[in-house]
Protein backbone atom coordinates (compact mmCIF):
# COMPACT_ATOMS: atom_id res chain seq x y z
CA UNK A 1 0.00 0.00 0.00
CA UNK A 2 1.83 3.04 -1.30
CA UNK A 3 1.48 6.74 -2.10
CA UNK A 4 2.00 8.29 -5.55
CA UNK A 5 2.78 11.75 -6.87
CA UNK A 6 2.44 12.73 -10.53
CA UNK A 7 3.80 15.84 -12.22
CA UNK A 8 1.70 16.43 -15.35
CA UNK A 9 3.66 18.81 -17.56
CA UNK A 10 3.39 20.22 -21.03
CA UNK A 11 6.36 18.19 -22.28
CA UNK A 12 6.65 15.23 -19.88
CA UNK A 13 4.97 13.26 -17.13
CA UNK A 14 6.82 12.08 -14.03
CA UNK A 15 5.34 9.65 -11.48
CA UNK A 16 6.95 8.66 -8.16
CA UNK A 17 5.83 6.05 -5.65
CA UNK A 18 6.83 6.47 -2.00
CA UNK A 19 6.24 4.47 1.16
CA UNK A 20 4.70 5.84 4.36
CA UNK A 21 8.12 7.04 5.50
CA UNK A 22 8.58 9.14 2.35
CA UNK A 23 11.16 6.86 0.72
CA UNK A 24 11.08 6.59 -3.08
CA UNK A 25 10.25 3.05 -4.19
CA UNK A 26 9.75 3.54 -7.90
CA UNK A 27 9.31 6.10 -10.63
CA UNK A 28 8.14 6.31 -14.22
CA UNK A 29 8.12 8.72 -17.13
CA UNK A 30 5.73 9.54 -19.92
CA UNK A 31 5.10 12.13 -22.59
CA UNK A 32 3.10 15.40 -22.32
CA UNK A 33 0.05 15.32 -20.05
CA UNK A 34 -1.31 18.86 -19.73
CA UNK A 35 -4.91 18.68 -21.05
CA UNK A 36 -4.73 22.38 -21.94
CA UNK A 37 -2.01 21.78 -24.52
CA UNK A 38 -2.26 18.09 -25.58
CA UNK A 39 -5.09 15.88 -26.92
CA UNK A 40 -6.83 13.73 -24.32
CA UNK A 41 -5.60 10.48 -25.88
CA UNK A 42 -2.02 11.72 -25.60
CA UNK A 43 -2.59 12.80 -21.99
CA UNK A 44 -4.11 9.41 -21.10
CA UNK A 45 -1.26 7.46 -22.72
CA UNK A 46 1.41 9.62 -21.06
CA UNK A 47 -0.08 9.23 -17.59
CA UNK A 48 -0.68 5.51 -18.07
CA UNK A 49 2.92 4.97 -19.17
CA UNK A 50 4.39 6.90 -16.23
CA UNK A 51 2.09 5.31 -13.65
CA UNK A 52 2.63 1.79 -14.98
CA UNK A 53 6.42 2.17 -14.92
CA UNK A 54 6.36 3.54 -11.38
CA UNK A 55 4.14 0.74 -10.07
CA UNK A 56 6.01 -2.00 -11.92
CA UNK A 57 9.28 -0.76 -10.44
CA UNK A 58 7.86 -1.15 -6.92
CA UNK A 59 6.27 -4.57 -7.54
CA UNK A 60 3.39 -3.35 -5.36
CA UNK A 61 0.05 -2.90 -7.08
CA UNK A 62 -1.94 -1.11 -4.36
CA UNK A 63 -1.81 2.70 -4.36
CA UNK A 64 -3.77 4.42 -1.57
CA UNK A 65 -3.55 8.10 -2.58
CA UNK A 66 -2.42 9.90 -5.72
CA UNK A 67 -1.61 13.61 -5.80
CA UNK A 68 -1.49 15.16 -9.28
CA UNK A 69 0.34 18.42 -10.00
CA UNK A 70 -1.00 20.39 -12.95
CA UNK A 71 -0.82 23.93 -14.31
CA UNK A 72 -4.19 25.60 -13.83
CA UNK A 73 -7.69 24.22 -14.27
CA UNK A 74 -8.68 25.74 -17.60
CA UNK A 75 -11.05 23.63 -19.65
CA UNK A 76 -11.88 21.24 -16.81
CA UNK A 77 -8.31 20.06 -16.29
CA UNK A 78 -9.06 18.72 -12.80
CA UNK A 79 -12.01 16.55 -13.79
CA UNK A 80 -10.18 15.23 -16.86
CA UNK A 81 -7.15 14.12 -14.86
CA UNK A 82 -9.28 12.54 -12.15
CA UNK A 83 -11.28 10.62 -14.76
CA UNK A 84 -8.10 9.31 -16.43
CA UNK A 85 -6.55 8.24 -13.14
CA UNK A 86 -9.72 6.47 -12.04
CA UNK A 87 -9.44 4.38 -15.17
CA UNK A 88 -5.81 3.49 -14.40
CA UNK A 89 -5.87 3.23 -10.57
CA UNK A 90 -9.53 2.75 -9.61
CA UNK A 91 -8.77 1.91 -5.97
CA UNK A 92 -6.83 5.11 -5.19
CA UNK A 93 -8.02 8.36 -3.69
CA UNK A 94 -7.10 11.19 -6.03
CA UNK A 95 -6.29 14.78 -5.15
CA UNK A 96 -5.25 17.53 -7.56
CA UNK A 97 -2.89 20.35 -6.61
CA UNK A 98 -1.85 23.40 -8.60
CA UNK A 99 1.71 23.33 -9.88
CA UNK A 100 2.63 26.33 -7.73
CA UNK A 101 1.50 24.52 -4.55
CA UNK A 102 3.67 21.55 -5.46
CA UNK A 103 6.58 23.80 -6.42
CA UNK A 104 6.34 25.44 -3.00
CA UNK A 105 6.54 22.03 -1.36
CA UNK A 106 9.54 21.10 -3.52
CA UNK A 107 11.38 24.22 -2.39
CA UNK A 108 10.30 24.65 1.23
CA UNK A 109 9.02 21.27 2.53
CA UNK A 110 6.10 22.68 4.57
CA UNK A 111 8.11 25.72 5.71
CA UNK A 112 7.08 29.35 5.06
CA UNK A 113 8.32 31.06 1.92
CA UNK A 114 7.58 32.45 -1.54
CA UNK A 115 8.34 30.61 -4.76
CA UNK A 116 8.29 32.20 -8.20
CA UNK A 117 7.66 29.88 -11.14
CA UNK A 118 9.28 31.22 -14.30
CA UNK A 119 8.22 28.70 -16.90
CA UNK A 120 6.30 29.23 -20.12
CA UNK A 121 3.88 31.04 -17.81
CA UNK A 122 4.58 32.67 -14.46
CA UNK A 123 3.15 32.89 -10.95
CA UNK A 124 4.38 33.58 -7.42
CA UNK A 125 2.97 31.62 -4.49
CA UNK A 126 3.72 32.08 -0.83
CA UNK A 127 2.69 30.65 2.53
CA UNK A 128 3.45 32.07 5.99
CA UNK A 129 3.84 30.32 9.36
CA UNK A 130 0.13 30.70 10.08
CA UNK A 131 -0.83 28.88 6.89
CA UNK A 132 -2.00 31.99 5.06
CA UNK A 133 -1.28 31.74 1.34
CA UNK A 134 -1.13 34.28 -1.48
CA UNK A 135 -0.88 33.94 -5.24
CA UNK A 136 0.62 36.77 -7.26
CA UNK A 137 0.11 36.76 -11.01
CA UNK A 138 -0.81 33.55 -12.78
CA UNK A 139 -3.38 35.34 -14.94
CA UNK A 140 -2.35 33.60 -18.15
CA UNK A 141 -0.64 34.70 -21.34
CA UNK A 142 -3.46 36.89 -22.67
CA UNK A 143 -3.41 39.34 -19.76
CA UNK A 144 -0.38 38.47 -17.63
CA UNK A 145 2.54 36.02 -17.33
CA UNK A 146 5.10 38.77 -16.75
CA UNK A 147 8.54 37.32 -16.10
CA UNK A 148 7.77 34.13 -17.99
CA UNK A 149 9.34 32.53 -21.04
CA UNK A 150 6.24 33.42 -23.07
CA UNK A 151 6.41 37.06 -21.99
CA UNK A 152 10.12 37.32 -22.79
CA UNK A 153 9.67 35.61 -26.15
CA UNK A 154 6.72 37.82 -27.10
CA UNK A 155 8.59 40.98 -26.10
CA UNK A 156 11.58 39.80 -28.12
CA UNK A 157 9.45 39.25 -31.22
CA UNK A 158 7.80 42.65 -30.81
CA UNK A 159 11.18 44.33 -30.45
CA UNK A 160 12.45 42.60 -33.60
CA UNK A 161 9.41 43.68 -35.61
CA UNK A 162 9.68 47.27 -34.38
CA UNK A 163 13.32 47.26 -35.44
CA UNK A 164 12.34 46.01 -38.92
CA UNK A 165 9.93 48.94 -39.24
CA UNK A 166 12.39 51.49 -37.90
CA UNK A 167 10.10 52.19 -34.91
CA UNK A 168 12.60 50.73 -32.49
CA UNK A 169 16.30 50.30 -31.86
CA UNK A 170 18.30 48.00 -34.08
CA UNK A 171 18.83 44.61 -32.47
CA UNK A 172 20.25 41.15 -33.10
CA UNK A 173 16.76 39.86 -32.43
CA UNK A 174 15.87 40.64 -36.06
CA UNK A 175 18.30 38.07 -37.37
CA UNK A 176 17.56 35.62 -34.56
CA UNK A 177 13.83 35.80 -35.32
CA UNK A 178 14.36 34.91 -38.99
CA UNK A 179 16.67 32.11 -37.93
CA UNK A 180 14.21 30.82 -35.31
CA UNK A 181 11.17 30.86 -37.59
CA UNK A 182 13.09 29.45 -40.55
CA UNK A 183 11.88 32.13 -42.97
CA UNK A 184 13.86 33.70 -45.80
CA UNK A 185 12.46 37.23 -45.54
CA UNK A 186 10.86 39.36 -42.80
CA UNK A 187 7.60 39.50 -44.79
CA UNK A 188 7.02 35.80 -44.06
CA UNK A 189 7.21 36.26 -40.29
CA UNK A 190 3.57 37.31 -39.91
CA UNK A 191 2.14 34.25 -41.66
CA UNK A 192 4.44 31.95 -39.70
CA UNK A 193 3.18 33.33 -36.39
CA UNK A 194 -0.52 33.63 -37.16
CA UNK A 195 -0.79 30.26 -38.88
CA UNK A 196 0.75 28.49 -35.89
CA UNK A 197 -1.51 25.96 -34.13
CA UNK A 198 0.07 26.99 -30.82
CA UNK A 199 1.26 30.61 -30.99
CA UNK A 200 1.85 30.70 -27.23
CA UNK A 201 4.45 27.96 -27.49
CA UNK A 202 5.91 29.49 -30.66
CA UNK A 203 6.45 32.85 -28.99
CA UNK A 204 7.60 31.34 -25.70
CA UNK A 205 10.28 29.28 -27.39
CA UNK A 206 11.88 32.47 -28.69
CA UNK A 207 12.88 33.40 -25.12
CA UNK A 208 16.26 31.60 -25.27
CA UNK A 209 17.20 33.76 -28.27
CA UNK A 210 16.42 36.87 -26.24
CA UNK A 211 18.60 35.57 -23.41
CA UNK A 212 21.37 34.75 -25.89
CA UNK A 213 21.24 38.25 -27.38
CA UNK A 214 21.38 39.74 -23.88
CA UNK A 215 24.54 37.77 -23.08
CA UNK A 216 25.98 39.24 -26.28
CA UNK A 217 25.31 42.74 -24.91
CA UNK A 218 22.43 43.51 -27.26
CA UNK A 219 20.86 46.62 -25.74
CA UNK A 220 17.26 45.77 -26.68
CA UNK A 221 17.45 42.19 -25.38
CA UNK A 222 19.15 43.41 -22.20
CA UNK A 223 16.26 45.80 -21.54
CA UNK A 224 13.78 42.93 -21.89
CA UNK A 225 15.72 40.75 -19.45
CA UNK A 226 16.04 43.61 -16.96
CA UNK A 227 12.30 44.26 -17.18
CA UNK A 228 11.73 40.53 -16.62
CA UNK A 229 13.85 40.61 -13.47
CA UNK A 230 12.00 43.72 -12.29
CA UNK A 231 8.66 41.91 -12.66
CA UNK A 232 9.89 38.88 -10.72
CA UNK A 233 11.28 41.06 -7.92
CA UNK A 234 7.99 42.97 -7.77
CA UNK A 235 6.08 39.71 -7.34
CA UNK A 236 8.34 38.71 -4.44
CA UNK A 237 7.97 42.16 -2.87
CA UNK A 238 4.17 42.05 -2.97
CA UNK A 239 4.00 38.47 -1.68
CA UNK A 240 6.36 39.22 1.21
CA UNK A 241 4.29 42.27 2.17
CA UNK A 242 0.96 40.45 1.98
CA UNK A 243 2.27 37.53 4.03
CA UNK A 244 3.69 39.81 6.68
CA UNK A 245 7.22 38.43 6.55
CA UNK A 246 9.65 40.40 8.70
CA UNK A 247 12.59 38.07 8.17
CA UNK A 248 13.00 36.74 4.62
CA UNK A 249 16.10 34.64 5.24
CA UNK A 250 15.73 31.37 3.28
CA UNK A 251 12.18 32.35 2.35
CA UNK A 252 12.59 33.12 -1.37
CA UNK A 253 12.83 30.45 -4.07
CA UNK A 254 12.59 30.15 -7.82
CA UNK A 255 11.92 27.40 -10.33
CA UNK A 256 10.61 26.88 -13.86
CA UNK A 257 11.92 25.87 -17.26
CA UNK A 258 12.64 29.40 -18.45
CA UNK A 259 14.60 30.18 -15.29
CA UNK A 260 16.72 27.04 -15.47
CA UNK A 261 17.26 27.47 -19.21
CA UNK A 262 18.63 30.98 -18.66
CA UNK A 263 19.91 30.56 -15.10
CA UNK A 264 23.44 31.84 -15.73
CA UNK A 265 21.96 35.12 -16.95
CA UNK A 266 18.94 35.49 -14.69
CA UNK A 267 20.16 34.33 -11.29
CA UNK A 268 22.94 36.94 -10.75
CA UNK A 269 20.59 39.75 -11.79
CA UNK A 270 17.79 38.44 -9.59
CA UNK A 271 19.97 38.07 -6.52
CA UNK A 272 21.48 41.52 -7.04
CA UNK A 273 18.09 43.20 -7.43
CA UNK A 274 16.53 41.28 -4.54
CA UNK A 275 19.39 42.26 -2.24
CA UNK A 276 18.91 45.87 -3.30
CA UNK A 277 15.14 45.67 -2.77
CA UNK A 278 15.27 44.02 0.67
CA UNK A 279 18.65 45.41 1.76
CA UNK A 280 19.72 41.95 2.89
CA UNK A 281 21.87 39.07 1.71
CA UNK A 282 19.62 36.77 -0.30
CA UNK A 283 19.92 32.99 -0.54
CA UNK A 284 17.61 32.34 -3.49
CA UNK A 285 16.54 28.73 -3.07
CA UNK A 286 15.74 26.21 -5.80
CA UNK A 287 13.73 22.96 -5.63
CA UNK A 288 15.14 20.39 -3.21
CA UNK A 289 13.31 17.49 -4.86
CA UNK A 290 11.43 16.64 -8.06
CA UNK A 291 7.88 18.00 -8.27
CA UNK A 292 6.56 14.42 -8.51
CA UNK A 293 8.07 13.59 -5.12
CA UNK A 294 6.72 16.83 -3.68
CA UNK A 295 3.27 15.81 -4.94
CA UNK A 296 3.70 12.39 -3.34
CA UNK A 297 4.59 14.00 0.00
CA UNK A 298 1.46 16.16 -0.22
CA UNK A 299 -0.52 12.98 -0.85
CA UNK A 300 1.11 11.43 2.21
CA UNK A 301 0.17 14.48 4.28
CA UNK A 302 -3.42 14.16 3.04
CA UNK A 303 -3.48 10.49 4.03
CA UNK A 304 -2.18 11.16 7.51
CA UNK A 305 -4.73 13.94 8.06
CA UNK A 306 -7.67 11.85 6.84
CA UNK A 307 -6.84 8.29 7.96
CA UNK A 308 -5.80 7.22 11.41
CA UNK A 309 -3.69 4.25 10.35
CA UNK A 310 -1.90 3.42 7.08
Q: Per-residue pLDDT tens for 62-75?
A: 888 999 998 765 44
178-207 residue pLDDT tens: 999 999 887 888 889 898 888 888 999 999
pLDDT at 36 over 80: no
124 and 176 co-located in one domain: yes
Closest residue by Cα to residue 302 from 135, 95, 99: 95
- pLDDT (0 to 100) of residue 184: 82
pLDDT over 60 at 310, yes or no: no
Same domain, 150 and 33: no
Is there a single domain that holds both residue 164 and residue 255? yes
CATH of the domain at 195: 3.30.420.40
Do 118 and 71 reside in the same domain of the chain?
no
- 297 and 233, same structural domain? no
Closest CA to 11 of 40, 31, 38, 29: 31
In which domain, by residue range, is 33 found? 2-104+289-306
pLDDT on residue 145: 87
If asked whether residues 171 and 116 sit together in one domain, one would say yes
- The verdict on 196 and 265 lying in the same domain is yes
Burial, 307: exposed, middle or buried (Cβ in 10 Å; 0-12, 13-18, 19+)? exposed
Residues 140 and 268 in one domain: yes
Q: Has residue 261 got a pLDDT over 90?
A: yes
Cβ-proximal residues to 80 (8 Å cutoff; 6+ apart), any chain: 35, 40, 43
Q: Which residue has the higher pLDDT, 259 or 59?
A: 259
Length of the chain: 310
Q: Which of 19, 16, 12 is nearest to 28 (CA)?
A: 16
List own/partner pairs for 20-23 with CB under 8 A and 24 or more apart. 20/300, 20/303, 20/310, 22/296, 22/297, 22/300
The pLDDT > 90 percentage for the chain reads 68
**Cα 162 to Cα 142: distance, rounded to the nearest angstrom:** 20
Same domain, 116 and 64: no
Position 308 scores a pLDDT of 58
Instruction: Tell me how many domains the chain contains.
Output: 2
Backbone angles phi, psi at 7, to 5 degrees: -100, 105
User: Are 83 and 196 part of one and the same domain?
Assistant: no
- Could you tell me the maximum CA-CA distance found in the chain, to the nearest angstrom? 69
In a shared domain, residues 132 and 269: yes
The tens digit of pLDDT for each residue in 285-302 reads: 999 999 999 999 999 999
Please report the pLDDT score of residue 139 as a whole number. Answer: 85
One domain, residues 60 and 120 = no
User: Under a CB-based contact definition with an 8 Å cutoff, are residues 3 and 19 in contact?
Assistant: yes
Let me know: does 201 contact 144? Beta carbons within 8 Å. Answer: no
Answer whether residue 309 shows pLDDT above 80.
Answer: no
Amino acid sequence: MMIMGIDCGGTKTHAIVIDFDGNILGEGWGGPSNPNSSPIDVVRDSIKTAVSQAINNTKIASIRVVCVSTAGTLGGTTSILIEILREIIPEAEIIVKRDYEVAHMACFFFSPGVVFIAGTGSVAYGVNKNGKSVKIGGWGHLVGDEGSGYWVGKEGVRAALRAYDGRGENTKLKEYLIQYLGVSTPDKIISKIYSSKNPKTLLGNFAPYVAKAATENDAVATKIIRKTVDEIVLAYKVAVRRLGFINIENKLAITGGFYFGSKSLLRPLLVKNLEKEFNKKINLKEPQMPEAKAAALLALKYWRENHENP
